[in-house]
């Protein structure tokens, strides 16, 4: 029991330590706290002399992502961003279409080699059109086998991580060889980091009040989702809970007082750091040599194949390099990863719409992944 309590304390407090540490430790700021949390989780989960309680970590990942989903949706003004920038929406559409095409094509090729391939395909569509938390959300919803879920997360951390590092380093130069340069974005509102929203300037007491309000609203959404799921299905069905959380989060975003509440994004983002630590600790790379390596291959094909198809189709429509990079990050990685890449390519104009789009993508990915999996299961 003592070990479990200590484990919970560490995963709850370590993200806070990293947020403080990034002000003084440059590599943390450069990589991004969510990437560092994933990395630390992976290291902890693969240390031979450190035994973690995997069920506790799995439960921590599930609870944190379920609470984070509505908080992140609270912050997005969907009506406002739907009026902006044809190019960024077209690029995002092409990114999602590329994922759907590549995932579906190779589903029929690899279907007989992967157990419950329809669930794997749904998780891949969801995670690469809506960001990292969607894999956990859709995996819970579809009741995917834990071994398959852990392997997919391990493969995603490795292969998608390589692509993310590419975007942080060589992405702009390589994309610039194929795509035209960014020339400006109509409708950008600010060049400041969007995640701040004035929250950091609030007094400590007001910060805590805002966090408690945001957290309380999210708990209410979670309780409502569990309650409705129990009424409809007679049990806590993952698929119903995730879809209700997504719907409630979007619905609350249309209430100005909730959408403008300072602390929504920060609290949800903190929970994603907890999620990253917990899910990273479940990545057991030793299993990659013993479990179905076709899943690893499937993940790699979807990540790099869809990215290539996205760039080529964007070139056809003459979309610029920065827009394609940001929408690729928004779709594949989610809102937490947009700002570091925007800073890296020296284009703050796209950070705010990129995060807004990533939040919208997060909702879209949940719907797409679950419905696509069920459809593929029927037509296999």
- Find the DSSP H helices in the chain: 2-21, 26-31, 33-45, 54-74, 78-81, 86-110, 117-130, 133-142, 146-169, 171-176, 204-233, 238-253, 256-259, 264-281, 293-316, 321-332, 338-344, 351-379
Distance, in Å, from the CA atom of 201 to the CA atom of 204, rounded to the nearest integer, reads 9
- Counting Cβ atoms within 10 Å, is residue 228 exposed (0-12), middle (13-18) or buried (19+)? middle
Of these ranges, 96-110, 176-190, 270-284, the one predicted with the greatest mean pLDDT is: 96-110
Kindly state the average pLDDT of the residues 36-58: 82
Distances (CA, A) of 61 to 65, 228, 269, 330: 6, 22, 13, 21
What single-letter DSSP state applies at residue 181?
Answer: P
Q: What is the mean pLDDT of residues 57-67?
A: 85
231, burial (CB in 10 Å: exposed 0-12, middle 13-18, buried 19+):
exposed
Q: pTM for this one? A: 0.66
d(CA 219, CA 248): 12
* In contact, 253 and 245? CB cutoff 8 Å: no
Residue 12 CA to residue 2 CA, distance in Å, equals: 15
The alpha carbon of 87 is separated from its chain's Cα centroid by a whole number of angstroms, namely 22
Considering the domain 2-379, what is its CATH architecture?
Up-down Bundle (1.20)
User: Any idea where the domains of the chain sit in the sequence?
Assistant: 2-379
Provide mean pLDDT across the span 251-268: 84
Q: Which letter does DSSP use for residue 250 in this model?
A: H
Cβ-proximal residues to 344 (8 Å cutoff; 6+ apart), any chain:
167, 168, 172
- State pLDDT tens for residues 147-192: 777 788 778 877 887 898 788 778 888 999 999 998 764 444 444 3
pLDDT band at 99; cut points 50, 70, 90 = very high
Q: Is 103 or 281 the better-scoring residue by pLDDT?
A: 103
Report how far apart, in Å, the C-alpha atoms of 256 and of each of 42, 77, 261, 269, 273 are. 39, 9, 8, 20, 27
Q: State the average pLDDT for the chain.
A: 82
Residue 289, pLDDT score:
62
Cα(365)–Cα(353) distance, integer angstroms: 18
What confidence score (pLDDT) does residue 194 get? Answer: 43
């Amino acid at each position: 029991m003592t070990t479990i309590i200590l484990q919970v304390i560490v995963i709850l407090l370590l993200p806070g330590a990293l947020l403080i540490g990034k002000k003084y430790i440059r590599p943390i700021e450069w990589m991004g706290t969510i990437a560092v949390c994933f990395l630390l989780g992976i290291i902890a989960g693969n240390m031979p002399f450190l035994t973690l309680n995997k069920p506790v970590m799995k439960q921590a990942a599930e609870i944190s992502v379920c609470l984070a989903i509505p908080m992140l949706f609270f912050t997005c003004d969907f009506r406002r961003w739907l009026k902006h920038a044809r190019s960024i929406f077209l690029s995002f559409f092409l990114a999602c279409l590329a994922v759907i095409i590549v995932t579906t094509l190779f589903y029929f090729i690899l279907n007989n080699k992967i157990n419950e391939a329809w669930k794997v395909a749904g998780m891949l569509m969801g995670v690469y059109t809506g960001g990292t938390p969607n894999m956990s959300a859709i995996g819970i919803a579809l009741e995917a086998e834990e071994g398959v879920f852990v392997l997919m997360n391990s493969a995603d951390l490795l292969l998608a991580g390589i692509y993310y590092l590419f975007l942080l380093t060589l992405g702009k130069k390589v994309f610039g060889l194929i795509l035209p340069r960014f020339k400006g974005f109509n409708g950008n509102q600010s060049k400041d980091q969007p995640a701040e929203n004035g929250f950091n300037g609030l007094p400590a007491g007001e910060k805590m009040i805002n966090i408690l309000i945001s957290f309380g609203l999210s708990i209410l959404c979670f309780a409502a989702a569990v309650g409705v799921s129990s009424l409809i299905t007679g049990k806590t069905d993952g698929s119903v809970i995730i879809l209700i959380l997504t719907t409630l989060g979007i619905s609350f975003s249309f209430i100005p007082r909730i959408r403008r509440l300072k602390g929504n994004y920060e609290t949800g983002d903190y929970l994603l750091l907890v999620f990253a630590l917990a899910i990273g600790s479940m990545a057991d790379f030793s299993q990659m040599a013993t479990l179905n390596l076709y899943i690893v291959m499937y993940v790699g094909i979807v990540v790099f194949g869809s990215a290539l198809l996205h760039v080529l189709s964007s070139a056809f429509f003459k979309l610029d390099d920065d827009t394609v990079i940001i929408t690729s990050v928004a779709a594949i990685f989610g809102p937490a990863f947009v700002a570091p890449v925007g800073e890296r390519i020296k284009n703050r104009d796209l950070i705010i719409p990129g995060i807004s789009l990533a939040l919208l993508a997060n909702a879209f990915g949940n719907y797409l992944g679950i419905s696509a999996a069920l459809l593929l299961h029927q037509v296999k």
